Amino acid sequence: MIEAPKGTRDVLPDEIGRWQFVEECARETFERYAFREIRTPIFESTELFARGIGEGSDIVAKEMYTFHDRKGRSVTLRPENTAPVARAFIEHQMHRAPGLQRMYYIGPMFRYERPQKGRMRQFHQIGVEVFGSDHPAVDAETLEMLMAFLGRLGLDDAELALNSVGDPVCRPVYRKALLAYLEPRRDTLCEDCRRRMADNPLRCFDCKVEADRAVMARAPAITDYLCAACREHFGRVTEYLRAYGIRHRLDPRLVRGLDYYRRTSFEVTLQGLGAQNALLGGGRYDGLIKELGGPEVPGFGFAVGEERLVMSLPAAAAVSRGTPEIFIATVDERGVERALLVARALRRVGRRVVFDPLPDKSLRAQLRRANDLQVRFVLILGETEVRERAVTIKRMSDGSQETIAEDRVGARLAEMAGA
């Protein structure tokens, strides 16, 4: 038997309702804030991620699915979608349009990492990107939208933590101070952190090794090195969040290790996720568009893993989508044609109908099937009904039945359903 590749999984019909609920809430929430959906290719030039994410990042160094196509070009299955959206922004000259460009996306990403709860090699992300303004109100409004989205999902215990990672003016000073702290401890750090020290020491804050995390917990805080402009920007972001009434905490060691990140950095945690309780992260990346060859355009965004969202939903959100309302049962082959036509007529007025034309299935067996599907009504087409162009409607809640003319079925079902 051929099975799904390691690190991937099938989303089965019985659970798809939770996924659809999350995606519908995302679309409805984001579009209220004037975000529009964008869809980028699943694979891109490897150079895009090497430049956009950074050669020294764990994603580029260890986790990307990279291969050569038939022309020998290096292409990569997208491990994240900020760089592709930025590439599309540049390629289609979206900076020439008036106002801010607000975009969101929903789709699969790919990283070769150890599969664990809520983290797969093919996973799905929901994310947003805002291009065109470095005003702190953009940060605050996008964060307010994010918390509103999580609230609609019933994730009321989500905790927002944020920090400022400075800018090209003040970050070099902090980088020097951080290296001065790390150098005497180099031999105690893991191999990855020693490599990070050369590429970008801020990435050491993302290390998952407990001993290294303890070392980084005592490292200098970047907030002590912010320039006046960055300090003012961060202060106004937090001021706006307080005006919104959004609970948040400041974490001076929360960083985004990529070079193009500037100023606001944040993550959201959920206690129910266990030791790895980070649900999502994001921040301001004013240097990304220029790094990819475009103009100097500021940006802000976040991405959340859909798998972790789905598994975090409260039990009350276990919605069932697409459940049929009506089951059509036939006694013999003479009822099949009538069943097909009745089902079509009902579907055209919005009813969810199932008809299973299985030979040699008794009426009793079909009623058991209808009960298993938890439909509200069964339409029975026996010999008499076919001959008289009638239908018997059986209400499953109490077993009551009535026979009416076939052309009145839709109206009668609407009455019985209270529609």
The one-digit pLDDT tens for each residue of the chain (419 residues) are: 998 888 888 889 888 889 999 999 999 999 999 999 999 999 999 888 888 666 556 677 678 888 898 999 999 999 999 999 999 999 999 999 888 999 999 999 999 877 666 578 899 999 999 999 999 999 999 999 999 999 999 998 899 999 999 998 988 888 888 888 888 888 888 888 888 887 788 888 877 788 888 888 888 888 888 999 999 999 999 999 999 999 999 988 887 656 678 999 999 998 766 556 788 999 999 989 998 999 999 999 999 999 999 988 887 666 666 678 999 999 888 889 999 999 999 999 989 999 988 777 888 999 999 998 889 999 999 999 999 999 999 999 888 999 999 889 888 888 887 75
Question: 367 is in which domain, residue-wise?
Answer: 326-417
Question: Is 187 a member of any domain?
Answer: no
Q: Distance of CA 394 to CAs 14, 252, 276, 333, 388, Å?
A: 26, 65, 51, 20, 18
Q: In sequence order, which residues have a C-beta less than 8 Å from that of residue 387 and are 6 or more positions away?
A: none
Last residue of one domain, picked from the residues 317, 343, 367: 317
Q: Distance of CA 18 to CAs 15, 210, 324, Å?
A: 6, 34, 17
Question: Is 208 a member of any domain?
Answer: no
Last residue of one domain, picked from the residues 317, 352, 382: 317
Q: What is the CATH number of the domain that holds 246?
A: 3.30.930.10
- Dihedral of alpha carbons 350, 351, 356, 357, sign: negative
Let me know whether 285 and 373 are in one domain: no
Let me know whether 330 and 313 are in one domain: no
Let me know whether 155 and 271 are in one domain: yes
Let me know whether 309 and 361 are in one domain: no
149-184 residue pLDDT tens? 999 999 988 999 999 999 989 888 888 888 888 888
Let me know whether 61 and 118 are in one domain: yes
- Dihedral of alpha carbons 228, 163, 171, 302, sign: negative
Let me know whether 309 and 343 are in one domain: no
For residue 343, give the H/E element and its range.
Answer: helix 336-348
Cβ-based burial of 114 (10 A; exposed 0-12, middle 13-18, buried ≥19) = exposed
Question: Is 207 a member of any domain?
Answer: no
Last residue of one domain, picked from the residues 292, 317, 342: 317
Q: What is the CATH number of the domain that holds 401?
A: 3.40.50.800
Distance CA(304)–CA(417), nearest Å, equals 39
Let me know whether 337 and 285 are in one domain: no
| Integer Rg of the chain from CA | 28
